Structure 1
Amino acid sequence: MMSTPTPGNHTPSRWDEITATDPAHSTRYVERFRTMAAAGQDIVGEARLVDAMLGRGGRVLDAGCGPGRLGGHLHEAGHAVVGVDGDPVLIAAAEEDHPGPTWLVGDLATLDLPARAIPADFDVIVCAGNVMTFLAPSTRETVLARFARHLAPAGRAVIGFGAGRGYEFPQFLADAEAGGLTVDLLLSTWDLRPFSDDSDFLVAVLSRT
């Protein structure tokens, strides 16, 4: 398992700041999704889009996987899933609720998965749940470059987040290009509605440049 980043090589993210101020935040986050799942609410819409992009047995990286709702669903659909998140509370919940995938505590800005240990060249990297907006701004381009590095030659990264969260869509697209990714498709929802200049959500499908 990837070790938890040490202070010397980890730039604190917005999520780190939130959980440092409110240590119970992660536990409440886990329970929120458990409650939604128990009530029969749809919490895996992003995973259905990813599943549609893959043949059976695809290799998926769930980047910023949280408590594993997407990676768990994709594993049940027959894919080989690795989930990475910097919050050990969320990874512990993923391991408990969704056994099967490889769940790792790790920093997306220093992502370096060993190819001999796990499938490090991914057919799809999914980064949902506004994860990009929780990253430290200084690490965003680095994270996108790490995604590009871990994609298979024909692989795609699927990244979704909302407007008004401190990361403007044009800046994200510029950072993605600088990180070695090119746009294949822009959507405004996970259920395939088209993106326009006034959209308040972005789902970007990207491939290696």
Structure 2
Amino acid sequence: MSERTPSQWEELAAADPAHSTWYVERFRTMAAEGKDIFGEARLVDAMLGRGGRVLDAGCGPGRLGGYLHEAGHVVVGVDVDPVLIAAAEEDYPGPTWLVGDLAELDLPGRGVKADFDVIVCAGNVMTFLAPSTREAVLAGFARHLGPAGRVVVGFGADRGYDFSQFLTDAATAGLAVDLRLSTWDLRPFTDESQFLVAVFSRAVV
């Protein structure tokens, strides 16, 4: 069995044990100051009827999954960092929060149905993955979609993962791009865009 490749997030947390706690407190402070930390979740909510099944992939401390749960959806959140999952459980009770590696995603093996209506991967999560695991993560998303499900991924430019390479990797993983945006508030994507929000469905074979 090959040795597991740690994500870049795990390497950051190993180098600085206070990093994950800083990240949790950053969003708690923003929420306490009344700042909008739920924009990505509003887009996902607009894609669903009530009671939709959502996988928050790389959920961090739970801000998106928590919002979507309150909006009436069934939410499962997965993150590799146990500190972030503990914060999600504390701040946003209700969803199912799981510690797990997105590169080895197997929710049916943990008693969770793989039939999500939307899988959302926000917060630059794709750029924190070990590069060698990117296609495996995207393929895992495809496996966990329901028949009409969609994957929504957002991340910024100049973070080590070229947009064109990402779209190629997604196609290789069995995902077909339906829509490209430059922001979570629905602005169109252009060649000059410094952020990509891509919506995929499972490719027809």
For normalisation by structure 2, the TM-score amounts to 0.97
Which residue is 2:154 aligned to? 160
| SS of 1:73 mapped into structure 2 | helix
Which residue is 2:170 aligned to? 176
Which residue is 1:101 aligned to? 95
| Aligned ranges 1:33-182 → 2 under 5 Å | 33-114=27-108, 117-182=111-176
Write the letter of the residue equivalent to 1:36: M
Structure 1 residue 117 displacement after superposition = 2.7
Aligned 8 A contact 1:115 1:121 in 2: no
Q: 1:11 to 1:116 in 2, by over 3 A?
A: closer
Aligned 8 A contact 1:182 1:208 in 2: yes
For normalisation by structure 1, the TM-score amounts to 0.95
Question: Aligned partners of 2:16 and 2:186: how far apart in 1?
Answer: 36
Structure 1 residue 11 displacement after superposition = 1.1
Structure 1 residue 118 displacement after superposition = 2.5
Write the letter of the residue equivalent to 2:122: A
Question: Aligned partners of 2:109 and 2:117: how far apart in 1?
Answer: 14
Deviation sequence 1:49-108 (CA, Å, 0-9, x none): 000000000000000000000000000000000000000000000000000000000000
Question: Aligned partners of 2:155 and 2:4: how far apart in 1?
Answer: 23
RMSD of aligned Cα (Å)? 1.3
| SS of 1:104 mapped into structure 2 | strand
Which residue is 1:15 aligned to? 9
Write the letter of the residue equivalent to 1:189: T
Structure 1 residue 191 displacement after superposition = 0.2
| SS of 1:183 mapped into structure 2 | strand
| SS of 2:126 mapped into structure 1 | helix
Which residue is 1:3 aligned to? none
Tell me, which stretches of 5 or more residues in structure 1 are unaligned? 1-6
Percent sequence identity is 80
Aligned 8 A contact 2:114 2:143 in 1: no
Question: Aligned partners of 2:4 and 2:55: how far apart in 1?
Answer: 21
| SS of 1:202 mapped into structure 2 | strand
Number of corresponding residues:
203
